[in-house]
Amino acid sequence: MTVIDANRMQEIEARYPEYFHRSFRQRFGGLMILIATLLYGLYAVWFFDLPKLLAEAHWERVGIYLSQWVSYDVQPDFRIQDDGSIEVRYPRFSPLGDNPHPDWVVNNPDGSITVSVSGTSRSITVSKSETIVTAHGVSVPVNVSSGAPEVVGPVPSWMTVYDDNVLADLGFAGDVSISVDRVKVRKRFLGWANFLFDTQSSFFDKPVGDVLGLIVSGPRIKPDQSNLSLAFDDIWNNSEWQHGDVWTKLFQTIVMAFLGTLLGALAAFPLAFLAARNITPNRLLNQILKRFFDFLRSVDMLIWALFLTRAFGPGPLAGSGAIFLTETGTLGKLYSEGLENIDNKPREGIKSTGAQTLLVHRYGIMPQIVPVIVSQTLYQWESNVRGATIIGAVGAGGIGLKLWEAMRTNANWENVAYMVILILIVVFLFDAASNALRHRLMGTNSH
């Protein structure tokens, strides 16, 4: 064990004062940051009133919306007539077509109708005097022969009784609303109904094998058009999913992002040379251009889109213009900062040979700045595919407007899911393409 005397200790303290004579900030800085973070968190909880928001939030809607992304429902309506007969009606644009006869709606010999909502565990039997709801292991009769529907026996927790109707929640399988002269059932199915062929198509409700057989070797459905062409037209013009319009709008979004980014890069490139202090020794011009870049960047792309839609009207031109203005500011700043951080020795060496300014820039600056230009431009291009979707919602064209229209109805969440998946696929593909292109142009290994 080594013993350090007082003189040796003083010598060590003098040699390393930063360890023995630490300032207040060095000693308690970490603790103060932790306390400040906790205080800020408490302030945020109070400012946003988080306990009240969490308590009053409609968390059940999350499950409802998510289920509607991956499912669809059919809503048969059973009308009890004065003579005791039951008439079955379906909505005008039912996923089952104009004259449906589903096997889960059964006419019983006694005149009643049984609807299988989810096998035998969840079903509804409708008759002229009562409706029996079977769910969660029990069967609950609802008397409809009097002036108002009346639950016979105790009311289960999954049933809600109102003045003129009774609502039974059957979970994901659906629900049923019972009144005196009407029983409305909502039965939910997993999947996307009529994704390829709508109810007006000649191929509607045909098995996959039959459709392929008609396309490959079957007789022509329309004498003047092949079955393959007819199938493509029916898919492209599907009235429920609107594939043609969705894909056209998606292509508009891609074009908007590419055109806006390309024009922004072309405008920012020469301006960046004028804004860089080490390239253009004019401080006034440098500051004017840098503040110009800041102005273009500080106005959000969404705000530019709102301005331009008022000037040029709704459409992809306004979207491309918004991306162009934003990217001129963003890429101008990035390019100019990259130019200011280059090594001046290669530039000075080429200049000393008496080369012209253009050649000095070409061989002394460009080899250093090209990796920055390529990397940042490709990243912005990829990012603007997402940005073009957002600005489309304010009328700038593209799939964003289509997505916003589907969300506003609050009933087409499966269409929303379809467009979101398409956008994600496009973003993933552009991310992979930009990474591969960046590594190829910069001569680096992508693995």
| 174 three-state secondary structure | strand
Reported residue count of the chain is 447
Is the pLDDT higher at 360 or at 199?
A: 199
Find the mean pLDDT for residues 48-72: 83
pLDDT tens by residue, 147-171: 788 898 899 999 999 988 999 998 8
pLDDT tens by residue, 72-110: 989 999 998 888 889 999 988 888 888 888 889 999 988
Sign of CA dihedral 426, 432, 438, 440: negative
Q: How many CB atoms lie within 10 A of CB 311?
A: 10
d(C-alpha 242, C-alpha 234), whole Å? 10
d(C-alpha 371, C-alpha 279), whole Å? 18
Question: Is the pLDDT reported for residue 113 higher than 80?
Answer: yes
Is the pLDDT higher at 25 or at 322?
A: 322
pLDDT of residue 445: 57
Copy the structure tokens of residue 380: 């912005």
Question: Could you give the angle at the alpha carbon of 227 between the alpha carbons of 222 and 233, nearest 5°?
Answer: 90
The pLDDT confidence band at residue 66, using thresholds 50, 70 and 90, is confident
**HSE toward the beta carbon, residue 197, CA cutoff 13 A:** 16
pLDDT of residue 35: 93
Question: Is the pLDDT reported for residue 194 higher than 70?
Answer: yes
Copy the structure tokens of residue 404: 């916003």
Find the mean pLDDT for residues 105-118: 90
Question: Is the pLDDT reported for residue 1 higher than 60?
Answer: no
Find the mean pLDDT for residues 5-9: 68
Q: How many CB atoms lie within 10 A of CB 251?
A: 14
d(C-alpha 20, C-alpha 364), whole Å? 49
The pLDDT confidence band at residue 34, using thresholds 50, 70 and 90, is very high
pLDDT tens by residue, 366-397: 888 888 888 888 888 888 888 888 888 877 77
Residues 6+ apart with CB under 8 A from 422: 246, 247, 250, 399
Please answer whether residues 72 and 191 qualify as being in contact, where contact means their C-beta atoms are separated by less than 8 angstroms: yes
pLDDT tens by residue, 296-341: 988 888 899 888 888 888 888 888 999 999 999 999 999 998 888 8
For 219-228, 261-270, 295-304, 342-351, which range has the lowest pLDDT when averaged over its residues? 342-351
Give pTM, 2 decimals.
0.79
Find the mean pLDDT for residues 244-271: 92
The pLDDT confidence band at residue 186, using thresholds 50, 70 and 90, is very high
The pLDDT confidence band at residue 443, using thresholds 50, 70 and 90, is low
d(C-alpha 153, C-alpha 161), whole Å? 13
pLDDT of residue 82: 82
d(C-alpha 287, C-alpha 271), whole Å? 12
| 175 three-state secondary structure | strand
d(C-alpha 327, C-alpha 330), whole Å? 5
For 29-43, 55-69, 83-97, 112-126, which range has the lowest pLDDT when averaged over its residues? 55-69
Copy the structure tokens of residue 396: 């700038």
The pLDDT confidence band at residue 442, using thresholds 50, 70 and 90, is low
Is the pLDDT higher at 346 or at 307?
A: 307
The pLDDT confidence band at residue 444, using thresholds 50, 70 and 90, is low
In angstroms, how far is the first alpha carbon of the chain from the final one? Answer: 52
d(C-alpha 238, C-alpha 232), whole Å? 10
% of residues, the chain, pLDDT over 70: 93
pLDDT of residue 218: 84
pLDDT of residue 21: 65
DSSP H helices, 2-93, are: 6-15, 17-20, 24-48, 50-56, 60-69
Average pLDDT, the chain: 86
d(C-alpha 111, C-alpha 160), whole Å? 27
pLDDT of residue 40: 94
